[in-house]
Amino acid sequence: MPVKRAIIPKADFIFLEGPKPRSFEFFFALKVWWQFIKGFRTLHFIGPAITVFGGARFKSGHEYYKLGEEVGKRIAQSGFATVTGGGPGVMEAVNKGAFENGGKSVGINILLPFEQSPNPYVHKSVTINLFFVRKTLLLKYSYAFIVLPGGFGTLDELFETLTLMQTNVVHDFPVVLIGKEFWTKLFHFIDDMVAYKTISPEDIHLIKITDSLDEAMEYIQKDINLNYQIKHGSKPLWWLFEKS
């Protein structure tokens, strides 16, 4: 059964058009606060996770969709929860791979007027109205990030993550891009940025690129073991109406 798409209120499109009445700003701040609380309550008990970024436009049967299924399967076998943007395409494939192989599958969806709707291969799902809230949630619960081929949204998520790492807001998170053929031109551009001195040579080492899932998972596991003690969190509190 197709998912009915929600209509996004016009107010969500105009909040960047300059100063608004104080009442508008106040209620927008409350809306942001509520979006975070909704996300925190839904995701608090998912356990150690790996987030996968990837495009929404690859259909079932495409090589990158198949790659996504295998990535989800490998994350499930590693014992981590799998977190994606919760939509179609590569995101669906990754969730499907985890879902069908005994792993915990989580989707953090975004409300859009087109293209994005929640996929059915998730154990937990939350729909967020604001991109910056969603991106925070995609980062917050994960020990590592895998980036599969995608479009502007995937690049946005990748470069925001790298910027946070470059500026030491977050650190020691492995970021692995899978699919050398797809990502090679991007790496050439990154080399150009080093040549122009807009980034430092060591910033290149924030990213690993590979075609091998064995190499990717080994790199992630080694990095996590070196830098983190994995925490599984607390139990739900009934008096807060929490659910695991």
Q: Which of 23-32, 77-86, 102-111, 230-239 has the lowest mean pLDDT?
A: 230-239
pLDDT band at 12 (very low <50, low <70, confident <90, very high): low
Yes or no: domain 21-228 corresponds to CATH 3.40.50.450: yes
Span 134-150, mean pLDDT?
96
Q: Which of 9-13, 67-71, 236-240 has the lowest mean pLDDT?
A: 9-13
pLDDT in tens, 161-195: 999 999 999 888 999 999 999 999 999 999 999 99
Please give the Cα distance from 149 to 155 (Å, whole number). 9
Is the model's pLDDT at 77 over the cut of 60?
A: yes
- Given CA atoms 156, 163, 215, 220 in this order, what sign does their dihedral have? negative
Residues in the chain: 244
Report domain extents, the chain.
21-228
Span 29-33, mean pLDDT?
95
pLDDT band at 46 (very low <50, low <70, confident <90, very high): very high
pLDDT in tens, 190-242: 999 999 999 999 999 999 999 999 999 999 999 999 888 777 767 888 777 78
pLDDT attached to residue 235 = 83
Look up the pTM and report it.
Answer: 0.90
- Please give the full DSSP string across the chain, using - where no structure is assigned: -PPPPPPPPTHHHHTTSS---HHHHHHHHHHHHHHHHHHHHHHTTS-SEEEEE--S-PPTTSHHHHHHHHHHHHHHHHT-EEEE---STHHHHHHHHHHTTT--EEEEEE--SSS----S--SEEEEES-HHHHHHHHHHTEEEEEE-S--HHHHHHHHHHHHHHHTTSS-S--EEEE-HHHHHHHHHHHHHHHHTTSS-GGGGGG-EEES-HHHHHHHHHHHHHHH-------PPPGGGT---
pLDDT attached to residue 204 = 94
Span 124-134, mean pLDDT?
93
pLDDT attached to residue 21 = 86
